[in-house]
Amino acid sequence: MTWVRRLAAAACVLVPLVLLVAGWGPLTAGHPAQPVLLGVVVVVGAGPALWRRVPSWVVVALAVVLLVPVVYLQPFAATRAEDGSTVLRPDGPVRAGLVFHPGARIDYRAYVPVLRRVAAQGFLVVVVREPLNIALLGGGTAGVRAAHPEVPGWAVGGHSLGGVAAGRDVLADPSVRGLVLWASYPVDDLSGRGGLTAWSISGERDGFTTPRDIAGSRRLLPADTRFEVVPGAVHAYFGDYGEQPGDGVPTVPRAEAQDRIVAHTVAALAAI
């Protein structure tokens, strides 16, 4: 076994191990797909290196193909993870429900503190644990909603890529009455979707879902969609996971922006 093969094999064992230790909290609390993927990388990546009939260049190429995605998929950890709750209930009667898709590569627990404040206003909120923290890899939300027959009406929502998944839920299921987009916009045309109350809540200083992106999404949403811009807010303010490289520069405190996000979300759910 050449040093190249040894190095590739070592990388396929050590890199997943380092990622598992570094991301222990979000990886163990989230969907099991990501820890399983790390295990697969160890077996599939290191195994061929031990088989001398496999050319060295194949071993190296395989290691690169396996390791780049798992490094990229390492989630942003929640900075204020209260607990691992995925179902947030109000103390009193349930006025409506919200199924929420987290943003890509973000620990779902980063949204729990903000969404718990929404739930406290009389709404049942279910936060989805997405496979590999990518909302588009998950299934629909019909099963989630069916598990809570006490909810009189449902909205779906999400942050960033999670909002794209929410838009697809709306398109697939006419029984969904509300759509709540946090720093997001649909990729499917929902402009003709009848009986839908849609709200777009975005940040003025967002470096990812920019005001220009939001303006361009208007044609894809119903004509009566409410567009609410949170002054001075950035992309990462919609959750509690710290700063996000490439984001804009905020001009207001996170707490102030989240007060507005909660207020707009409550108003959106009250309208369905």
**Where would I find the H helices in 100-250?**
112-119, 142-146, 161-172, 211-216
- Closest C-alpha to 225, from 165, 189, 180: 180
The beta-strand segments (E) located in the chain are: 87-88, 96-101, 123-127, 154-159, 178-182, 197-203, 226-230
- Helix-strand-coil split of the chain, %, nearest 5: 45, 15, 40
- Among 3.40.50.1820, 3.10.129.10, 3.30.1330.10, 3.40.309.10, name the CATH number for the domain at 87-270: 3.40.50.1820
For the chain, what are the domain ranges? Answer: 3-72, 87-270
Per residue of the chain (272 residues), give pLDDT as tens. 577 878 888 999 999 999 999 999 999 899 999 999 999 999 998 877 667 777 887 888 999 999 999 999 999 999 986 667 899 999 999 999 999 999 999 999 999 999 999 999 999 999 999 999 999 998 888 999 999 999 999 999 999 999 999 999 999 999 999 999 999 999 999 999 999 999 999 999 999 999 999 999 999 999 999 999 999 999 999 999 999 999 999 999 999 999 999 999 999 999 99
pTM, two decimals, is 0.94
